[in-house]
Structure 1
Amino acid sequence: MIERADQLILNYVSKAADAAHGVLRQDQRLDFVKRLRARIELERHGLESAKDVAKVLARFGDPVALVEREANRLREPAQKEEAPRVRDLPPEDSTRVLPPGVAQGMREAQQRLTRQPGRGMPFAGLRSAAMASANPMSTGGRDAATIVKEHPRDVAALAILVAAGLLVPFNLPAIAIFRIPVIVWALGALLVMVGDSWPLRERIIGVGAPIFGYVIGGILVGGLRVGDRPGLAPFFEEFWNVSGIMFMIGAALGVVWLAYRLLDVS
Protein backbone atom coordinates (compact mmCIF):
# COMPACT_ATOMS: atom_id res chain seq x y z
CA MET A 1 0.00 0.00 0.00
CA ILE A 2 2.85 2.43 0.83
CA GLU A 3 4.47 1.84 -2.55
CA ARG A 4 1.19 2.49 -4.39
CA ALA A 5 0.66 5.71 -2.41
CA ASP A 6 4.16 6.92 -3.25
CA GLN A 7 3.61 5.99 -6.89
CA LEU A 8 0.45 8.12 -7.01
CA ILE A 9 2.43 11.11 -5.79
CA LEU A 10 5.25 10.41 -8.23
CA ASN A 11 2.78 10.14 -11.12
CA TYR A 12 1.11 13.41 -10.14
CA VAL A 13 4.36 15.34 -9.78
CA SER A 14 5.64 13.82 -13.04
CA LYS A 15 2.54 15.07 -14.86
CA ALA A 16 3.18 18.54 -13.46
CA ALA A 17 6.83 18.38 -14.51
CA ASP A 18 5.89 17.23 -18.01
CA ALA A 19 3.31 20.00 -18.32
CA ALA A 20 5.88 22.57 -17.20
CA HIS A 21 8.37 21.47 -19.85
CA GLY A 22 8.58 24.21 -22.46
CA VAL A 23 6.27 26.44 -20.42
CA LEU A 24 8.58 27.35 -17.53
CA ARG A 25 12.30 27.91 -17.66
CA GLN A 26 14.42 25.06 -16.38
CA ASP A 27 15.14 26.77 -13.04
CA GLN A 28 11.49 27.78 -12.66
CA ARG A 29 10.36 24.28 -13.51
CA LEU A 30 12.69 22.66 -10.97
CA ASP A 31 11.69 25.15 -8.28
CA PHE A 32 7.98 24.67 -8.97
CA VAL A 33 8.18 20.86 -8.91
CA LYS A 34 10.29 20.89 -5.75
CA ARG A 35 7.83 23.11 -3.89
CA LEU A 36 4.84 21.20 -5.21
CA ARG A 37 6.28 17.90 -3.97
CA ALA A 38 7.04 19.46 -0.58
CA ARG A 39 3.51 20.82 -0.36
CA ILE A 40 2.00 17.42 -1.19
CA GLU A 41 4.08 15.74 1.50
CA LEU A 42 2.93 18.33 4.02
CA GLU A 43 -0.71 17.83 3.07
CA ARG A 44 -0.20 14.08 3.19
CA HIS A 45 0.53 14.14 6.93
CA GLY A 46 2.26 10.77 6.74
CA LEU A 47 -0.76 8.99 5.24
CA GLU A 48 0.19 5.61 3.78
CA SER A 49 -3.09 4.51 2.17
CA ALA A 50 -3.28 4.94 -1.60
CA LYS A 51 -6.93 5.93 -1.24
CA ASP A 52 -6.12 8.68 1.28
CA VAL A 53 -3.23 9.97 -0.82
CA ALA A 54 -5.48 10.06 -3.90
CA LYS A 55 -7.91 12.27 -1.97
CA VAL A 56 -5.05 14.60 -1.05
CA LEU A 57 -4.02 14.85 -4.70
CA ALA A 58 -7.62 15.45 -5.73
CA ARG A 59 -7.61 18.60 -3.61
CA PHE A 60 -4.72 19.96 -5.66
CA GLY A 61 -6.66 19.57 -8.91
CA ASP A 62 -5.32 19.15 -12.42
CA PRO A 63 -1.49 19.45 -12.44
CA VAL A 64 -1.64 21.03 -15.89
CA ALA A 65 -3.86 23.80 -14.52
CA LEU A 66 -1.38 24.39 -11.68
CA VAL A 67 1.42 24.88 -14.20
CA GLU A 68 -0.70 27.30 -16.23
CA ARG A 69 -1.38 29.39 -13.14
CA GLU A 70 2.29 29.43 -12.24
CA ALA A 71 3.20 30.53 -15.76
CA ASN A 72 0.59 33.31 -15.65
CA ARG A 73 1.96 34.48 -12.32
CA LEU A 74 5.49 34.63 -13.65
CA ARG A 75 4.36 36.54 -16.76
CA GLU A 76 2.65 39.16 -14.61
CA PRO A 77 5.03 39.78 -11.70
CA ALA A 78 3.46 43.11 -10.90
CA GLN A 79 0.05 41.59 -10.32
CA LYS A 80 -0.48 40.06 -6.91
CA GLU A 81 -2.75 37.07 -7.19
CA GLU A 82 -5.29 36.79 -4.47
CA ALA A 83 -5.11 33.00 -4.27
CA PRO A 84 -1.53 32.41 -3.08
CA ARG A 85 -1.44 35.18 -0.45
CA VAL A 86 -0.38 33.81 2.93
CA ARG A 87 -3.20 35.59 4.73
CA ASP A 88 -5.71 33.59 2.69
CA LEU A 89 -4.41 30.33 4.14
CA PRO A 90 -5.46 28.81 7.45
CA PRO A 91 -3.16 29.84 10.35
CA GLU A 92 -1.45 26.47 10.46
CA ASP A 93 -0.54 26.82 6.76
CA SER A 94 1.20 30.19 7.03
CA THR A 95 4.67 28.69 7.41
CA ARG A 96 4.30 25.98 4.79
CA VAL A 97 5.93 25.84 1.39
CA LEU A 98 3.28 26.80 -1.16
CA PRO A 99 3.89 27.14 -4.91
CA PRO A 100 2.06 30.29 -6.09
CA GLY A 101 -1.20 29.36 -7.78
CA VAL A 102 -1.55 26.00 -6.03
CA ALA A 103 -3.90 27.30 -3.34
CA GLN A 104 -6.34 28.54 -5.99
CA GLY A 105 -6.11 25.24 -7.82
CA MET A 106 -6.80 23.34 -4.60
CA ARG A 107 -9.86 25.45 -3.86
CA GLU A 108 -11.22 25.07 -7.38
CA ALA A 109 -10.62 21.32 -7.32
CA GLN A 110 -12.40 21.03 -3.99
CA GLN A 111 -15.35 22.99 -5.36
CA ARG A 112 -15.55 20.69 -8.40
CA LEU A 113 -15.46 17.63 -6.17
CA THR A 114 -18.24 18.91 -3.92
CA ARG A 115 -20.54 19.95 -6.77
CA GLN A 116 -19.66 17.23 -9.30
CA PRO A 117 -22.91 16.04 -10.97
CA GLY A 118 -23.94 12.52 -10.09
CA ARG A 119 -21.49 12.20 -7.21
CA GLY A 120 -22.95 9.85 -4.62
CA MET A 121 -25.07 8.00 -7.16
CA PRO A 122 -24.49 4.24 -7.40
CA PHE A 123 -21.49 3.44 -9.62
CA ALA A 124 -21.12 7.12 -10.63
CA GLY A 125 -17.42 7.00 -9.97
CA LEU A 126 -17.10 3.76 -11.90
CA ARG A 127 -18.70 5.36 -14.95
CA SER A 128 -16.34 8.34 -14.72
CA ALA A 129 -13.23 6.22 -14.27
CA ALA A 130 -14.14 4.03 -17.21
CA MET A 131 -13.83 6.97 -19.58
CA ALA A 132 -10.36 7.05 -21.09
CA SER A 133 -10.45 10.83 -21.23
CA ALA A 134 -11.61 11.26 -17.65
CA ASN A 135 -9.61 13.59 -15.43
CA PRO A 136 -7.85 11.31 -12.91
CA MET A 137 -8.49 13.82 -10.17
CA SER A 138 -12.25 13.50 -10.65
CA THR A 139 -12.01 9.90 -9.50
CA GLY A 140 -9.58 10.36 -6.66
CA GLY A 141 -6.59 10.04 -8.96
CA ARG A 142 -7.75 6.72 -10.37
CA ASP A 143 -8.92 6.43 -13.95
CA ALA A 144 -9.03 3.32 -16.13
CA ALA A 145 -5.51 3.81 -17.47
CA THR A 146 -4.11 4.20 -13.96
CA ILE A 147 -5.83 1.04 -12.77
CA VAL A 148 -4.38 -0.99 -15.66
CA LYS A 149 -0.91 0.40 -14.99
CA GLU A 150 -1.00 -0.20 -11.24
CA HIS A 151 -2.78 -3.57 -11.24
CA PRO A 152 -1.88 -5.43 -14.45
CA ARG A 153 -2.28 -8.87 -12.93
CA ASP A 154 -5.65 -8.07 -11.37
CA VAL A 155 -6.95 -6.54 -14.60
CA ALA A 156 -5.75 -9.63 -16.48
CA ALA A 157 -7.63 -11.81 -13.99
CA LEU A 158 -10.83 -9.86 -14.64
CA ALA A 159 -10.33 -10.22 -18.39
CA ILE A 160 -9.93 -13.98 -17.98
CA LEU A 161 -13.14 -14.18 -15.95
CA VAL A 162 -14.94 -12.26 -18.69
CA ALA A 163 -13.52 -14.68 -21.27
CA ALA A 164 -14.80 -17.62 -19.22
CA GLY A 165 -18.34 -16.30 -19.49
CA LEU A 166 -18.05 -15.47 -23.19
CA LEU A 167 -16.87 -18.99 -24.02
CA VAL A 168 -20.04 -20.64 -22.71
CA PRO A 169 -22.16 -20.27 -25.90
CA PHE A 170 -19.47 -21.93 -28.06
CA ASN A 171 -20.09 -25.33 -26.47
CA LEU A 172 -16.41 -26.30 -26.72
CA PRO A 173 -15.43 -29.94 -26.06
CA ALA A 174 -14.46 -30.78 -22.50
CA ILE A 175 -10.93 -31.56 -21.36
CA ALA A 176 -11.18 -34.72 -19.25
CA ILE A 177 -14.36 -33.97 -17.29
CA PHE A 178 -13.97 -30.19 -17.19
CA ARG A 179 -15.63 -27.77 -19.57
CA ILE A 180 -13.40 -25.13 -21.15
CA PRO A 181 -15.21 -22.17 -19.53
CA VAL A 182 -14.73 -23.75 -16.10
CA ILE A 183 -11.00 -24.21 -16.74
CA VAL A 184 -10.67 -20.60 -17.85
CA TRP A 185 -12.68 -19.47 -14.84
CA ALA A 186 -10.40 -21.46 -12.53
CA LEU A 187 -7.35 -19.67 -13.96
CA GLY A 188 -8.92 -16.25 -13.46
CA ALA A 189 -10.11 -17.21 -9.98
CA LEU A 190 -6.59 -18.31 -9.04
CA LEU A 191 -5.13 -14.95 -10.10
CA VAL A 192 -7.79 -13.11 -8.11
CA MET A 193 -7.25 -15.20 -4.98
CA VAL A 194 -3.46 -14.80 -4.93
CA GLY A 195 -3.71 -11.03 -5.39
CA ASP A 196 -3.88 -8.51 -2.57
CA SER A 197 -6.02 -5.80 -4.14
CA TRP A 198 -9.25 -7.06 -2.57
CA PRO A 199 -10.13 -8.28 0.92
CA LEU A 200 -10.68 -12.04 1.11
CA ARG A 201 -14.46 -11.67 1.39
CA GLU A 202 -14.66 -9.61 -1.80
CA ARG A 203 -12.43 -12.05 -3.67
CA ILE A 204 -14.67 -14.95 -2.67
CA ILE A 205 -17.77 -13.07 -3.80
CA GLY A 206 -16.21 -12.15 -7.14
CA VAL A 207 -14.86 -15.56 -8.11
CA GLY A 208 -17.77 -17.47 -6.57
CA ALA A 209 -20.50 -15.60 -8.44
CA PRO A 210 -20.23 -17.66 -11.68
CA ILE A 211 -20.33 -20.98 -9.81
CA PHE A 212 -23.17 -19.76 -7.61
CA GLY A 213 -25.08 -18.73 -10.72
CA TYR A 214 -24.34 -22.03 -12.44
CA VAL A 215 -25.43 -24.24 -9.52
CA ILE A 216 -28.00 -22.28 -7.54
CA GLY A 217 -29.30 -20.25 -10.46
CA GLY A 218 -29.48 -23.37 -12.63
CA ILE A 219 -31.42 -25.25 -9.97
CA LEU A 220 -33.88 -22.44 -9.28
CA VAL A 221 -34.53 -21.37 -12.86
CA GLY A 222 -34.44 -24.95 -14.14
CA GLY A 223 -36.92 -25.97 -11.46
CA LEU A 224 -39.26 -23.18 -12.43
CA ARG A 225 -39.08 -24.14 -16.10
CA VAL A 226 -39.97 -27.77 -15.39
CA GLY A 227 -43.46 -26.80 -14.41
CA ASP A 228 -45.68 -29.79 -13.60
CA ARG A 229 -43.69 -32.34 -15.60
CA PRO A 230 -42.87 -35.28 -13.31
CA GLY A 231 -39.49 -37.00 -12.84
CA LEU A 232 -35.86 -35.91 -12.79
CA ALA A 233 -35.28 -36.08 -16.53
CA PRO A 234 -37.20 -32.86 -17.29
CA PHE A 235 -35.43 -31.11 -14.43
CA PHE A 236 -31.95 -32.05 -15.64
CA GLU A 237 -32.90 -31.10 -19.17
CA GLU A 238 -33.95 -27.62 -18.05
CA PHE A 239 -30.94 -27.34 -15.74
CA TRP A 240 -28.51 -27.92 -18.61
CA ASN A 241 -30.48 -25.50 -20.75
CA VAL A 242 -30.19 -22.58 -18.33
CA SER A 243 -27.08 -23.28 -16.22
CA GLY A 244 -24.70 -21.94 -18.86
CA ILE A 245 -26.65 -18.69 -19.09
CA MET A 246 -26.67 -18.40 -15.32
CA PHE A 247 -22.89 -18.96 -15.31
CA MET A 248 -22.48 -16.07 -17.76
CA ILE A 249 -24.68 -13.81 -15.63
CA GLY A 250 -22.73 -14.77 -12.51
CA ALA A 251 -19.41 -14.12 -14.26
CA ALA A 252 -20.58 -10.68 -15.39
CA LEU A 253 -21.79 -9.75 -11.91
CA GLY A 254 -18.59 -11.03 -10.31
CA VAL A 255 -16.39 -9.03 -12.67
CA VAL A 256 -18.45 -5.87 -12.16
CA TRP A 257 -18.17 -6.29 -8.40
CA LEU A 258 -14.40 -6.83 -8.46
CA ALA A 259 -13.84 -3.98 -10.89
CA TYR A 260 -15.96 -1.67 -8.75
CA ARG A 261 -14.00 -2.58 -5.63
CA LEU A 262 -10.69 -2.28 -7.47
CA LEU A 263 -11.54 1.29 -8.42
CA ASP A 264 -12.62 1.76 -4.80
CA VAL A 265 -15.30 4.31 -5.57
CA SER A 266 -18.36 4.49 -3.38
Structure 2
Amino acid sequence: MLNYVSKAADAAHGVLRADQRLDFARRLRARIEVERGGSQNARQVAKVLARFGDPVALVEREARRLAEAGVATARDPAGVGARASGGGAGTSLGTAGSGTAGPGTTGPRTAGTGAVTRPVSGPVSGPSDGAGAGGGATRPLPAVDGEEAPPGVRAYRGIAQDSLDRRQGMGLPFAGLRRAAMSSANPMATGGRDARTIVKEYPRDTAALVILVLAALLVPFHLPAVAIFQIPLVVWAVGAVMVLFSDAWNVRDRFVGAGAPLLGYAVGGVLIGGLRVGIEAGMEAFVTQFFDVSGTMFMIGTGAGVLWLAYRLLDVN
Protein backbone atom coordinates (compact mmCIF):
# COMPACT_ATOMS: atom_id res chain seq x y z
CA MET A 1 0.00 0.00 0.00
CA LEU A 2 2.80 2.42 0.91
CA ASN A 3 4.60 1.51 -2.29
CA TYR A 4 1.46 2.34 -4.29
CA VAL A 5 1.02 5.73 -2.58
CA SER A 6 4.73 6.45 -3.12
CA LYS A 7 4.36 5.76 -6.85
CA ALA A 8 1.42 8.17 -6.99
CA ALA A 9 3.40 10.85 -5.14
CA ASP A 10 6.35 10.37 -7.52
CA ALA A 11 4.04 10.68 -10.51
CA ALA A 12 2.69 13.95 -9.08
CA HIS A 13 6.13 15.62 -9.25
CA GLY A 14 6.00 18.32 -11.88
CA VAL A 15 2.23 17.96 -12.15
CA LEU A 16 0.97 19.19 -8.76
CA ARG A 17 2.42 21.76 -6.40
CA ALA A 18 4.12 20.49 -3.25
CA ASP A 19 1.14 21.23 -1.00
CA GLN A 20 -1.28 19.69 -3.52
CA ARG A 21 0.92 16.63 -3.85
CA LEU A 22 1.01 16.07 -0.09
CA ASP A 23 -2.74 16.58 0.19
CA PHE A 24 -3.40 14.19 -2.70
CA ALA A 25 -1.14 11.48 -1.23
CA ARG A 26 -2.82 11.84 2.17
CA ARG A 27 -6.31 11.54 0.70
CA LEU A 28 -5.27 8.60 -1.48
CA ARG A 29 -3.88 6.69 1.49
CA ALA A 30 -6.97 7.47 3.55
CA ARG A 31 -9.23 6.23 0.75
CA ILE A 32 -7.24 3.00 0.45
CA GLU A 33 -7.54 2.49 4.22
CA VAL A 34 -11.32 2.85 3.90
CA GLU A 35 -11.52 0.42 0.97
CA ARG A 36 -9.44 -2.30 2.64
CA GLY A 37 -11.55 -2.09 5.79
CA GLY A 38 -8.70 -2.88 8.16
CA SER A 39 -7.80 -6.12 6.35
CA GLN A 40 -4.25 -7.39 6.94
CA ASN A 41 -4.50 -9.96 4.15
CA ALA A 42 -1.88 -9.07 1.52
CA ARG A 43 -3.91 -10.52 -1.35
CA GLN A 44 -7.02 -8.61 -0.33
CA VAL A 45 -5.03 -5.36 -0.21
CA ALA A 46 -3.51 -6.18 -3.61
CA LYS A 47 -7.01 -6.57 -5.05
CA VAL A 48 -8.02 -3.19 -3.57
CA LEU A 49 -5.00 -1.52 -5.16
CA ALA A 50 -5.79 -3.21 -8.46
CA ARG A 51 -9.24 -1.61 -8.40
CA PHE A 52 -7.65 1.82 -7.95
CA GLY A 53 -5.66 1.30 -11.14
CA ASP A 54 -2.60 3.10 -12.45
CA PRO A 55 -1.30 5.75 -9.98
CA VAL A 56 -0.32 7.94 -12.93
CA ALA A 57 -3.94 7.94 -14.15
CA LEU A 58 -5.11 9.05 -10.70
CA VAL A 59 -2.62 11.94 -10.72
CA GLU A 60 -3.77 13.02 -14.18
CA ARG A 61 -7.39 12.95 -13.03
CA GLU A 62 -6.52 15.08 -10.01
CA ALA A 63 -4.65 17.56 -12.23
CA ARG A 64 -7.65 17.82 -14.58
CA ARG A 65 -9.98 18.39 -11.64
CA LEU A 66 -7.84 21.22 -10.32
CA ALA A 67 -7.47 22.75 -13.78
CA GLU A 68 -11.22 22.71 -14.34
CA ALA A 69 -11.67 24.46 -11.00
CA GLY A 70 -9.16 27.15 -11.98
CA VAL A 71 -6.60 26.11 -9.38
CA ALA A 72 -2.97 26.65 -10.32
CA THR A 73 -0.77 23.54 -10.43
CA ALA A 74 2.89 22.92 -11.14
CA ARG A 75 1.98 22.09 -14.74
CA ASP A 76 -0.37 25.08 -15.11
CA PRO A 77 0.96 27.80 -12.75
CA ALA A 78 -1.52 30.44 -13.90
CA GLY A 79 -4.62 28.25 -14.07
CA VAL A 80 -4.71 28.61 -17.88
CA GLY A 81 -6.64 25.38 -18.33
CA ALA A 82 -9.77 26.72 -16.63
CA ARG A 83 -9.70 30.07 -18.48
CA ALA A 84 -9.24 28.33 -21.81
CA SER A 85 -12.30 26.19 -21.15
CA GLY A 86 -14.55 29.21 -20.78
CA GLY A 87 -13.97 30.40 -17.23
CA GLY A 88 -14.26 34.17 -16.87
CA ALA A 89 -12.95 36.65 -14.37
CA GLY A 90 -12.92 35.38 -10.84
CA THR A 91 -12.61 31.71 -11.83
CA SER A 92 -8.84 31.26 -11.68
CA LEU A 93 -6.14 31.86 -9.16
CA GLY A 94 -4.82 35.39 -8.94
CA THR A 95 -8.07 36.92 -10.25
CA ALA A 96 -9.53 39.54 -8.00
CA GLY A 97 -13.19 39.80 -7.16
CA SER A 98 -13.92 36.18 -6.36
CA GLY A 99 -14.79 35.65 -2.73
CA THR A 100 -15.62 31.92 -2.76
CA ALA A 101 -13.96 28.80 -3.99
CA GLY A 102 -15.46 26.90 -6.87
CA PRO A 103 -16.44 23.23 -6.67
CA GLY A 104 -13.54 20.93 -6.05
CA THR A 105 -10.94 23.60 -5.27
CA THR A 106 -8.34 22.75 -2.71
CA GLY A 107 -8.78 25.78 -0.51
CA PRO A 108 -10.73 29.02 0.03
CA ARG A 109 -9.75 32.24 -1.72
CA THR A 110 -9.36 35.57 -0.02
CA ALA A 111 -11.87 38.04 -1.39
CA GLY A 112 -10.39 40.77 -3.52
CA THR A 113 -6.86 39.42 -3.48
CA GLY A 114 -7.00 36.10 -5.31
CA ALA A 115 -4.72 34.56 -2.70
CA VAL A 116 -5.18 30.94 -1.89
CA THR A 117 -4.73 29.63 1.64
CA ARG A 118 -3.20 26.27 2.50
CA PRO A 119 -5.42 23.41 1.24
CA VAL A 120 -8.05 22.25 3.67
CA SER A 121 -9.00 18.61 3.33
CA GLY A 122 -12.21 17.12 4.56
CA PRO A 123 -12.62 13.52 5.67
CA VAL A 124 -12.42 10.93 2.94
CA SER A 125 -15.88 9.64 2.13
CA GLY A 126 -17.44 6.93 0.04
CA PRO A 127 -17.85 7.16 -3.73
CA SER A 128 -21.28 8.77 -3.56
CA ASP A 129 -20.36 11.41 -0.99
CA GLY A 130 -20.66 14.95 -2.25
CA ALA A 131 -17.95 16.38 0.01
CA GLY A 132 -15.68 18.78 -1.78
CA ALA A 133 -18.41 20.47 -3.78
CA GLY A 134 -18.19 23.43 -1.48
CA GLY A 135 -17.19 24.56 1.97
CA GLY A 136 -13.48 24.68 1.07
CA ALA A 137 -12.94 20.93 1.41
CA THR A 138 -11.16 18.84 -1.17
CA ARG A 139 -13.18 16.38 -3.17
CA PRO A 140 -12.85 12.71 -2.27
CA LEU A 141 -11.18 10.43 -4.76
CA PRO A 142 -13.72 9.10 -7.26
CA ALA A 143 -14.93 5.54 -7.25
CA VAL A 144 -12.86 3.15 -9.32
CA ASP A 145 -15.20 0.16 -9.52
CA GLY A 146 -17.56 -0.62 -12.37
CA GLU A 147 -17.54 -0.22 -16.12
CA GLU A 148 -17.52 3.59 -15.85
CA ALA A 149 -13.90 3.60 -14.65
CA PRO A 150 -11.45 5.26 -17.07
CA PRO A 151 -9.84 2.97 -19.68
CA GLY A 152 -6.45 3.28 -18.00
CA VAL A 153 -7.85 2.13 -14.68
CA ARG A 154 -9.59 -0.85 -16.27
CA ALA A 155 -6.44 -1.85 -18.18
CA TYR A 156 -4.21 -1.61 -15.11
CA ARG A 157 -6.77 -3.55 -13.07
CA GLY A 158 -6.75 -6.34 -15.68
CA ILE A 159 -2.95 -6.52 -15.64
CA ALA A 160 -2.92 -6.78 -11.84
CA GLN A 161 -5.61 -9.48 -11.85
CA ASP A 162 -3.71 -11.49 -14.48
CA SER A 163 -0.60 -11.28 -12.33
CA LEU A 164 -2.52 -12.59 -9.32
CA ASP A 165 -3.98 -15.43 -11.40
CA ARG A 166 -0.54 -16.46 -12.63
CA ARG A 167 0.81 -16.50 -9.07
CA GLN A 168 -2.10 -18.63 -7.92
CA GLY A 169 -2.24 -21.03 -10.83
CA MET A 170 0.43 -21.31 -13.49
CA GLY A 171 3.45 -19.99 -11.57
CA LEU A 172 6.81 -21.69 -11.51
CA PRO A 173 7.02 -24.97 -9.55
CA PHE A 174 7.30 -24.44 -5.79
CA ALA A 175 7.05 -20.67 -6.26
CA GLY A 176 5.11 -20.35 -3.00
CA LEU A 177 7.76 -22.29 -1.10
CA ARG A 178 10.54 -20.13 -2.52
CA ARG A 179 8.67 -16.95 -1.62
CA ALA A 180 8.23 -18.20 1.93
CA ALA A 181 11.94 -19.02 2.19
CA MET A 182 12.82 -15.51 1.00
CA SER A 183 10.45 -13.75 3.39
CA SER A 184 13.05 -13.11 6.10
CA ALA A 185 15.38 -11.41 3.60
CA ASN A 186 12.83 -9.62 1.45
CA PRO A 187 9.22 -9.47 2.72
CA MET A 188 8.07 -7.89 -0.56
CA ALA A 189 9.00 -11.12 -2.38
CA THR A 190 6.30 -13.08 -0.56
CA GLY A 191 3.43 -10.69 -1.12
CA GLY A 192 3.25 -10.27 2.65
CA ARG A 193 2.85 -14.01 3.33
CA ASP A 194 5.13 -15.92 5.69
CA ALA A 195 4.77 -18.54 8.42
CA ARG A 196 3.40 -16.05 10.94
CA THR A 197 0.70 -14.70 8.62
CA ILE A 198 -0.27 -18.26 7.65
CA VAL A 199 -0.79 -19.19 11.30
CA LYS A 200 -2.89 -16.05 11.86
CA GLU A 201 -5.01 -16.60 8.75
CA TYR A 202 -5.48 -20.38 9.13
CA PRO A 203 -5.29 -21.25 12.85
CA ARG A 204 -7.46 -24.40 12.66
CA ASP A 205 -5.65 -25.73 9.62
CA THR A 206 -2.29 -25.12 11.26
CA ALA A 207 -3.55 -26.92 14.37
CA ALA A 208 -4.50 -29.91 12.21
CA LEU A 209 -0.93 -30.10 10.89
CA VAL A 210 0.44 -29.94 14.42
CA ILE A 211 -1.84 -32.81 15.49
CA LEU A 212 -0.66 -34.94 12.58
CA VAL A 213 2.96 -34.30 13.53
CA LEU A 214 2.14 -35.20 17.14
CA ALA A 215 0.66 -38.50 15.99
CA ALA A 216 3.92 -39.37 14.24
CA LEU A 217 6.04 -38.36 17.23
CA LEU A 218 4.04 -40.64 19.55
CA VAL A 219 4.83 -43.79 17.52
CA PRO A 220 8.25 -44.60 19.10
CA PHE A 221 6.86 -44.44 22.67
CA HIS A 222 4.75 -47.63 22.34
CA LEU A 223 1.93 -46.21 24.47
CA PRO A 224 -0.85 -48.55 25.68
CA ALA A 225 -3.83 -48.89 23.38
CA VAL A 226 -7.20 -47.28 23.96
CA ALA A 227 -9.64 -50.19 23.57
CA ILE A 228 -8.24 -51.74 20.41
CA PHE A 229 -6.80 -48.55 18.92
CA GLN A 230 -3.23 -47.36 19.27
CA ILE A 231 -2.91 -43.80 20.59
CA PRO A 232 -0.97 -42.51 17.53
CA LEU A 233 -3.80 -43.81 15.34
CA VAL A 234 -6.40 -41.99 17.47
CA VAL A 235 -4.42 -38.74 17.31
CA TRP A 236 -3.98 -39.15 13.55
CA ALA A 237 -7.75 -39.65 13.15
CA VAL A 238 -8.43 -36.33 14.90
CA GLY A 239 -5.97 -34.49 12.67
CA ALA A 240 -7.26 -36.24 9.55
CA VAL A 241 -10.86 -35.23 10.28
CA MET A 242 -9.78 -31.59 10.73
CA VAL A 243 -7.92 -31.71 7.43
CA LEU A 244 -10.78 -33.34 5.52
CA PHE A 245 -13.26 -30.71 6.72
CA SER A 246 -10.94 -27.76 6.05
CA ASP A 247 -11.63 -25.19 3.34
CA ALA A 248 -7.98 -24.20 2.99
CA TRP A 249 -7.14 -27.08 0.62
CA ASN A 250 -8.88 -28.61 -2.34
CA VAL A 251 -10.27 -32.15 -2.15
CA ARG A 252 -7.22 -33.79 -3.68
CA ASP A 253 -4.83 -32.10 -1.27
CA ARG A 254 -6.97 -33.09 1.74
CA PHE A 255 -6.95 -36.76 0.82
CA VAL A 256 -3.25 -36.74 -0.04
CA GLY A 257 -2.29 -35.08 3.24
CA ALA A 258 -4.59 -37.12 5.46
CA GLY A 259 -4.03 -40.42 3.67
CA ALA A 260 -0.23 -40.28 3.35
CA PRO A 261 0.36 -41.70 6.89
CA LEU A 262 -1.92 -44.70 6.26
CA LEU A 263 -0.40 -45.21 2.83
CA GLY A 264 3.05 -45.25 4.36
CA TYR A 265 1.92 -47.59 7.12
CA ALA A 266 0.22 -50.13 4.83
CA VAL A 267 2.05 -50.01 1.52
CA GLY A 268 5.42 -49.08 2.99
CA GLY A 269 5.13 -51.77 5.65
CA VAL A 270 4.26 -54.43 3.08
CA LEU A 271 7.00 -53.46 0.65
CA ILE A 272 9.81 -52.91 3.14
CA GLY A 273 8.76 -55.87 5.31
CA GLY A 274 8.58 -58.13 2.27
CA LEU A 275 11.96 -57.03 1.03
CA ARG A 276 13.55 -57.65 4.41
CA VAL A 277 12.28 -61.21 4.87
CA GLY A 278 12.26 -62.40 1.28
CA ILE A 279 9.73 -64.67 -0.46
CA GLU A 280 10.48 -67.96 1.34
CA ALA A 281 10.57 -66.70 4.93
CA GLY A 282 6.92 -67.45 5.68
CA MET A 283 3.94 -65.43 6.85
CA GLU A 284 4.99 -65.26 10.50
CA ALA A 285 8.35 -63.70 9.68
CA PHE A 286 6.66 -61.29 7.26
CA VAL A 287 4.15 -60.15 9.91
CA THR A 288 6.96 -59.59 12.38
CA GLN A 289 8.91 -57.49 9.91
CA PHE A 290 5.75 -55.62 8.89
CA PHE A 291 5.10 -54.41 12.42
CA ASP A 292 8.77 -53.59 12.89
CA VAL A 293 8.88 -51.19 9.95
CA SER A 294 5.25 -50.02 9.64
CA GLY A 295 5.60 -47.53 12.49
CA THR A 296 8.61 -45.92 10.83
CA MET A 297 6.81 -45.82 7.50
CA PHE A 298 3.80 -44.23 9.22
CA MET A 299 6.10 -41.45 10.49
CA ILE A 300 7.62 -40.97 7.04
CA GLY A 301 4.18 -40.84 5.43
CA THR A 302 2.98 -38.33 8.02
CA GLY A 303 6.00 -36.12 7.37
CA ALA A 304 5.41 -36.22 3.63
CA GLY A 305 1.69 -35.44 4.02
CA VAL A 306 2.31 -32.55 6.42
CA LEU A 307 4.99 -31.06 4.16
CA TRP A 308 2.62 -31.21 1.21
CA LEU A 309 -0.25 -29.61 3.11
CA ALA A 310 2.06 -26.90 4.50
CA TYR A 311 3.34 -26.10 1.02
CA ARG A 312 -0.17 -25.91 -0.38
CA LEU A 313 -1.18 -23.66 2.51
CA LEU A 314 1.66 -21.28 1.69
CA ASP A 315 0.60 -21.25 -1.96
CA VAL A 316 -3.16 -21.57 -1.36
CA ASN A 317 -5.35 -20.53 -4.31
> Which band: TM-score by shorter chain?
0.5 to 0.7
Q: Residue deviations 1:207-264, cap 9 Å, x none?
A: 0000010011101111111124432011001101110011001000100111111111
CA distance in 2, matches of 1:55, 1:94: 14
Q: Name the counterpart of 1:175.
A: 226
TM-score calculated relative to the size of structure 1? 0.59
Post-superposition shift, 1:53? 4.5
Report whether the alignment pairs 1:34 with 2:93: no
Post-superposition shift, 1:31? 2.4
CA distance in 1, matches of 2:198, 2:185: 13
Report whether the alignment pairs 1:225 with 2:276: yes
Q: Residue deviations 1:161-180, cap 9 Å, x none?
A: 11111111111111111111
Contact 2:183 2:190 in 1 (8 A): no
CA distance in 1, matches of 2:32, 2:24: 12
Q: Name the counterpart of 1:261.
A: 312
Pick from 186, 189, 193 the counterpart of residue 240 of structure 2. 189
Q: Name the counterpart of 2:96.
A: none
What SS does the aligned partner of 2:281 have? coil
Aligned length, in residue pairs = 198
CA distance in 2, matches of 1:154, 1:163: 14
More helix by share: 1
Q: Relative to 1, partners in 2 of residues 1:197 and 1:134: Cα closer, same or farther, differing over 3 Å?
A: farther
Q: Name the counterpart of 1:158.
A: 209
1:253 is matched by which residue type in structure 2?
Answer: A
1:1-266 maps to which residues of 2 (within 5 A)? 31-37=27-33, 53=44, 56=47, 92-93=151-152, 122-130=173-181, 133=184, 135-264=186-315
Q: Relative to 1, partners in 2 of residues 1:123 and 1:95: Cα closer, same or farther, differing over 3 Å?
A: closer
Post-superposition shift, 1:136? 4.3
CA distance in 2, matches of 1:165, 1:188: 11
1:177 is matched by which residue type in structure 2?
Answer: I
CA RMSD of aligned residues (A): 4.4
Post-superposition shift, 1:128? 3.6
TM-score calculated relative to the size of structure 2? 0.50
Percent identity reads: 54
Task: Pick the structure with greater CA Rg.
Answer: 2
CA distance in 2, matches of 1:257, 1:143: 16
Structure 1 unaligned regions, length at least 5: 1-11, 17-25, 42-49, 60-77, 79-90, 97-102, 104-119
Contact 2:273 2:289 in 1 (8 A): yes
Post-superposition shift, 1:93? 3.3
Q: Residue deviations 1:102-140, cap 9 Å, x none?
A: x9xxxxxxxxxxxxxxxx764353144156635443123
CA distance in 1, matches of 2:297, 2:172: 28
Post-superposition shift, 1:187? 0.8
CA distance in 1, matches of 2:27, 2:196: 29
1:93 is matched by which residue type in structure 2?
Answer: G
What SS does the aligned partner of 1:142 have? coil
Contact 1:132 1:145 in 2 (8 A): no
CA distance in 1, matches of 2:153, 2:288: 75
Q: Name the counterpart of 1:4.
A: none
CA distance in 1, matches of 2:49, 2:154: 22
